[in-house]
C-alpha cells in the first residue's frame, strides 16, 4: 500500500507563473511609459478643429501651455509673467546646445528646428498668445504647432 511516509504534506503555491505574468506587465508599462506626457497640462479645454492633423512625433519640441486665465503653465504650475521670457530663452539655449553636438557650426542667429507646441484653452485671449509667440520668435523658434481636439468621429 502506498502512502506518504513521514514529513508534512504542505501545498505551496507555485509562484513562478505569477512572477512571470508580473514581469510581462512591467515590461508592457516600461515600453509605453512616456515622461514627456507630464509636460502636458490636461486641465485645459482645447478647441475642436476639423483640420487638425494627427501629431507627428520625432521632432524635438517645446511645450507651451496657456490656461483659461491666460497663465503660462509649466508641468501644470503657473509661471509668473516676468519669468516667461527667461524660461523660453533657456529652452532655446538648451536646444541650440543639443543641435551643436551634431552640428558645431550652428549659430545663435540660426532658426531653431524645434517645434513650439501651443496648447491653449479655448477661452485664452489672443493678446496672451501673441506675447508668447513673439518671445518665441525672438529666440529663434519658427515652427509652431497649434494643438486642438479632433472632432468626434
Partner 1 sequence: MRKKHKATDEDVELNLTAMLDMAFQILAFFILTFRPPKAEGQIALRMPPPMPIAGVAGGANPGDQDTKDPLKDFKTLLIIVTATDAGDIRQLYVGKPPDQQEVATDPALKIFGTKLASLLNDPASPLDQGVIQVGSKLRYSELMRLIDVCTRQTVGGDPKTRLSKLSLVDENG
Binding site for partner 1 (CB under 8 A): 15-16, 18-19, 22-23, 25-26, 29-30, 32-35, 37-38, 40, 42, 46-47, 49-55, 66, 111, 115, 117, 119-127, 129-130, 133-134, 137-138, 142-150
Q: How far is the CB of 94 from partner 1 (least distance, A)?
A: 21
Q: How far is the CB of 79 from partner 1 (least distance, A)?
A: 18
Q: How far is the CB of 123 from partner 1 (least distance, A)?
A: 5
Q: How far is the CB of 152 from partner 1 (least distance, A)?
A: 10
The span from the CA of 76 to the CA of 91, in Å, is 17
The span from the CA of 134 to the CA of 141, in Å, is 9
112-120 vs 61-66, strand pairing mode: parallel
If the CB atoms of residues 34 and 105 are measured against partner 1, the closer one turns out to be 34
Q: Is the dihedral angle over the CA atoms 145, 148, 151, 153 positive or is it negative?
A: positive
If the CB atoms of residues 11 and 104 are measured against partner 1, the closer one turns out to be 11
Q: How far is the CB of 120 from partner 1 (least distance, A)?
A: 4
If the CB atoms of residues 2 and 127 are measured against partner 1, the closer one turns out to be 127
If the CB atoms of residues 1 and 11 are measured against partner 1, the closer one turns out to be 11
Burial 124-148 (b: 16+ CB within 10 A, else e): beeebbeebbebbeebbbeeebebb
- Burial of residue 118 (CB within 10 Å: 0-12, 13-18, 19+) is buried
Amino acid at each position: 500500500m502506498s502512502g506518504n511516509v513521514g514529513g508534512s504534506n504542505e501545498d505551496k503555491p507555485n509562484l513562478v507563473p505569477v512572477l512571470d505574468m508580473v514581469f510581462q506587465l512591467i515590461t508592457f508599462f516600461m515600453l509605453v511609459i512616456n515622461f514627456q506626457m507630464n509636460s502636458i497640462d490636461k486641465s485645459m479645454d482645447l478647441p475642436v478643429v476639423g483640420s487638425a492633423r494627427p501629431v507627428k512625433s520625432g521632432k524635438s519640441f517645446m511645450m507651451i501651455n496657456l490656461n483659461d486665465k491666460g497663465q503660462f503653465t509649466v508641468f501644470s504650475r503657473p509661471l509668473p509673467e516676468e519669468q516667461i521670457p527667461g524660461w523660453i530663452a533657456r529652452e532655446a539655449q538648451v536646444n541650440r546646445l543639443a543641435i551643436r553636438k551634431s552640428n558645431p557650426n550652428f549659430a545663435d542667429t540660426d532658426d531653431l528646428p524645434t517645434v513650439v507646441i501651443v496648447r491653449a484653452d479655448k477661452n485664452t485671449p489672443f493678446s496672451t498668445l501673441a506675447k508668447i509667440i513673439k518671445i518665441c520668435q525672438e529666440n529663434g523658434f519658427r515652427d509652431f504647432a497649434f494643438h486642438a481636439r479632433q472632432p468626434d468621429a
